[in-house]
Amino acid sequence: MTSPLLERPGAVPPPEGSPDAGVAWHHGDPLGEQRAADRDVVVVDRSHREVLAVPGEDRLTWLHTITSQHLLALGEGQHTEALVLDLRGHVEHHAVVSHVQETVWLDTDPGRAQGLLAYLSSMVFWSKVAPRDATPELAVLSLLGPGTGEVLSRAGELGGFARVESGRADLLVPRGELTNAWLRLVDTGAAPAGTWAYEAIRAAALRPRLGIDTDERTIPHEVGWIGPAVHLDKGCYRGQETVARVSNLGRPPRRMVLLHLESPETLPVTGDPVTAGERVVGRVGTVATHYELGAIALALVKRSVDPATPLQAGQSAAAIDPNSLPPDTGEPPGRAALRRLRS
């Protein structure tokens, strides 16, 4: 699905093979767009994301039982994230969840909605829910930057609904009003920006993206989804045994880190190996050029790799940013309990 905003003057399409096909890659100054997002506010067309709707009396209790998130008390106008895991606890689906007007809305990465909808539909049984594809109904625009609140206030009602956080907002607007909503946000002070800027900012903030920063073996602990998308104090759901076991007895085998790339002329691509000498120790996820950090990448690397180890990401020399390492939370509670019991 190609966005009508890609036809706007100055919009540059992404390169072939981009996961963000159909929306603008940048508007002439990708690094300047990142600076504007850091200092003021930008609007990014993310209308290639796909949206599902789950109306029905049982929507919250039903989704609570089949996803990783605690949804029973998700109030009107509230938002969160959720995962669908396979039987071994590997991540199959990720969605941003909004409860608005007696419907739960799930927006996902491009190309992911039909697989998620098929799973949801297979789990309905006798529940009073009616999941459907709502991509033709709603489109996503994102505001980034400290001026987000002021632009939202000036823009007024745009239709749909908004997920507002500190320094950002995702607006799910009627798809037929996408261009009008974009123009109003630009007219009220948001500078146009593309997915280059959005992805660079996301990578620098260590926010994973399904299918790019994850592979078929990824478990939630490895990419920081415990908390934002996985609730540890809820009942059984598919894959929950792995989540509980790693949380209580062990540590994930890999961790997502930020790499600084020293060879910007030979950038790796998603899926390239990360090596230490002759040994493969991880895989490359998102690759981006950041306006301050330069060439960077997210990568899943083995937990046993010393952060000071010189690495190679594809053909580029790489170093782990020590500030990106997950905090050491000490001995897992289950292992501590076993040790006390044995002593």
DSSP letter for each residue of 155-188: H---SSEEEEETTEEEEEEEGGGHHHHHHHHHHT
Residue 15 three-state SS: coil
Q: Where exactly are the structural domains of the chain?
A: 1-249, 252-343
Confidence of residue 337 (pLDDT cuts 50, 70, 90): very low
Q: Taking residues 279-302, report their average pLDDT.
A: 97
Taking the C-alpha atoms of residue 321 and residue 35, their distance in angstroms, rounded to an integer, is 21
Confidence label for 336 from pLDDT (cuts 50, 70 and 90): very low
Q: Give the pair of three-digit tokens for residue 167.
A: 């320094």
The SS3 assignment for 298 reads: strand
Whether the model pTM is above 0.75: yes
Residue 5 vs residue 337, higher pLDDT: 5
C-alpha distance across the termini of the chain, in Å: 62
Task: Tell me the average pLDDT across 112-121.
Answer: 98
Gap between the Cα atoms of 138 and 190, Å rounded: 21
Residue-averaged pLDDT of the chain: 93
Domain 252-343 in this protein, CATH class: mainly beta
pLDDT class for 340, splitting at 50, 70, 90? very low
On whether the 1-249 domain is CATH 3.20.20.540, my answer is: no
Amino acid identity at 35 = R
Per the CB < 8 A criterion, the answer to whether 19 and 196 are in contact is no
Report d(CA 145, CA 38) in Å as an integer. Answer: 5
Instruction: Give the per-residue pLDDT at 326.
Output: 82
Beta carbons of 193 and 33 less than 8 angstroms apart: yes
Neighbours of 245 (CB within 10 A): 14
Q: Percent of the chain at pLDDT above 90?
A: 90
Judge if 1-249 and 252-343 fold alike in CATH terms. no
